[in-house]
Amino acid sequence: MEGFKALGLSYKNAPIDIREKVAFNESDSTDFILKLQELFEVEEALLVSTCNRTELYYSAPNDLSKEILGLISSFKHISSQELKGYFQFYSSKEASKHLFNVTLGLESQVLGDIQISNQVKRAYQQSADLNMAGPHLHRLMHTIFYANKRVVQETSLQDGTASVASVAVDLVRGFIGNIENPRIALIGLGEIGQNVLENLDSKEATITLVNRTKSIAEKLSEGKNILVKDLSNLESIITENDVVISAVATSAPLITADHLSEEILHKLFIDLSVPRSIAQEVERVPGVSVYNVDQLAERTLKARAIRTKAIPAVENIIEEELSNFMSWKNEMGVSPTIQKLKIALDQIRKEELSRHKKLSDKEIELLDVVTKSMIQKVIKLPVLQLKAACKRGESETLVEVLNDLFNLESTKIEKR
């Protein structure tokens, strides 16, 4: 489908203050996709919004880049002129390859980040639930997920501790090393928050979980030496803990300088949210250290060196699987021609059989079997040639020849 396109921005070309303005939570994503469906001739849509990027992939007969950028601007109440310089635009094969690179972690701020593939899977599930994933997107996503499986099995792209969650925990361990009976508060238990929790060890510190939906925190603490507290006690939670990790989806900062007392010896804040959930003013409070997602990425250089060596192998996998996908895509483009050829030949066969009315039922039955077998053998070579031409990118000429030879343009395919 030549109408598959994409547009988006990422940490590579947009600072965090721009990224957080166009970040979509799950509810926003649903509303936006439905609005997109309502306003434009969009057949498929996939909205990927993480702390590092906001990208929309879509299938439509026409290029709707300007219109969609305008819709994002209106939806997020931000000037399209302010956004225009940050958005990149992709079309056809370029968009498909970019989605491969994003999902497999080649475009991640933390190279090979395992979080992104799960985030893309959730976005794909959302598209499917909204009936905005058609044959093209279904096939593309399953090809990408298979490629990701190959990357895990065949390369070292995901080796070492280089995810945002693992880097955050490494930073915490370095901070609490000299603190007697350290206390850590983890606020927000979405996927990133839960990944942080998986990497934390309750033997190293007292851990307190805080979540808007308290039952989730209680479930995650079952059978473990972990405390659970209400978000309404935020000020006391911040006061009592040496480390506060915030992974909350919020449109405005959750933690501000007003939550901090004047007598702070040393406290570490880690903000894993986009938009940021810890106000910038907190950084200016004496005794406080604050790290956001951009700063955490700087601490992944060692793991990145290991993973960088795997890039050529990953790129080879992408090229192989992208080639397989493009072959399927091209074959889908000629499948109507193949179907019409089968119908045209079968019509000739039936017309010839109808001329022999003096034959017995058994003779007609036998001829029917024989002529069907002949048609299958006759059509086999053109079909194989068409598929081979698809792989070479030369199917268009052969399709034209078959159309002319059998007048296929006049052949109609009945819908079942």
Q: Which of 16, 36, 42, 51 is catalytic?
A: 51
Q: For 370, how many CA atoms within 13 A lie in the half-sphere containing its CB? A: 8
Distance of alpha carbon 224 from alpha carbon 201, whole angstroms: 10
Maximum Cα–Cα distance for the chain, whole Å?
107
Q: Which of 363, 395, 365 is nearest to 382 (CA)?
A: 395
Q: Which of 214, 222, 294, 241 is nearest to 18 (CA)?
A: 294
Distance of alpha carbon 305 from alpha carbon 299, whole angstroms: 12
Distance of alpha carbon 235 from alpha carbon 262, whole angstroms: 13
Q: Which of 8, 22, 193, 19 is nearest to 101 (CA)?
A: 8
Beta carbons within 8 Å of 10's beta carbon, 6+ residues apart: 19, 52, 53, 55, 107
Task: Decide: helix, strand or coil at residue 64.
Answer: coil
C-beta atoms surrounding 142 within 10 Å: 12
Known catalytic membership, residue 51: yes
User: Which residues are marked as active site?
Assistant: 51
